Amino acid sequence: MEPSKPGFGDEKRSDNDNRKAQPSVESSKMGPVTPMKKSWKQRWNARQLSKTMTACICLAMIAGTMLVGFSWGGWVTGGTAQKTASTMANDAVVQRLSAICVAQFQQDPAKTEKLAELQSISSYQRGNYVKDQGWSIMPGEEESDTKVATACGKSLAVLE
């Protein structure tokens, strides 16, 4: 058997030895010690995200940015921009051609009677009336455009 070494478990200490852990009178009255609750910032700083969670957060942020951009940000796709540009160009052409139509009306010798007749008919028939009179036929063309005739009818209806 091996002889016991001093300073280990078989050593006897005196009662007044301060190395012994004895609870003090004050700590026994307070009850068990509860750890302090960590603050939100401490918990946030201690959190470590996995690669999967980081990738999911990035994808969610990309999707959210796209959603906000296309909904409220005014973003459009190439096809939508092309359709909008085409519509705006057609409307501009119709507006310019309707001005020529009004000028052709002004050259008509019986314009006063025809204007009174145009203003007396309903608004959805004015385009056909202008088309029948031939005012909406542009120089160099054989027939008139319905959109030009309708726009010309609207313009002529407000004339006095």
- Quote the pLDDT of residue 136: 92
- Quote the pLDDT of residue 35: 80
Pick out the chain residues at pLDDT < 70.
1-31
Cβ–Cβ < 8 Å for 129, 118: yes
Cβ–Cβ < 8 Å for 104, 135: yes
Domain boundaries, the chain: 80-157
- Quote the pLDDT of residue 115: 92
- Quote the pLDDT of residue 132: 92
- Quote the pLDDT of residue 21: 54
Cβ–Cβ < 8 Å for 130, 136: yes
- Quote the pLDDT of residue 107: 93
- Quote the pLDDT of residue 3: 57
- Quote the pLDDT of residue 76: 94
Q: Cα separations (Å) of 94 from 33, 87, 126?
A: 85, 11, 16
State how far the Cα of 121 lies from the Cα of 18, in Å rounded to an integer.
Answer: 115
- Quote the pLDDT of residue 45: 87
Query: What letter represents residue 103's amino acid?
Result: A
Give the relative orientation of helices 78-106 and 146-157 as an angle to the nearest 10 degrees.
60
Cβ–Cβ < 8 Å for 70, 64: no
Q: For tokens 């008919």, name the residue.
A: 121
Q: Which two tokens stand for residue 106?
A: 């002004």
Give the relative orientation of helices 146-157 and 126-133 as an angle to the nearest 10 degrees.
110
Neighbours of 102 (CB within 10 A): 17
State how far the Cα of 23 lies from the Cα of 112, in Å rounded to an integer.
Answer: 115
Q: Which two tokens stand for residue 19?
A: 């190395």
Report the predicted TM-score, pTM, of the whole model to 2 decimal places. Answer: 0.58
- Quote the pLDDT of residue 64: 97
pLDDT tens-digit profile of 34-48? 788 889 888 888 888
- Quote the pLDDT of residue 46: 87
DSSP state of 9: T
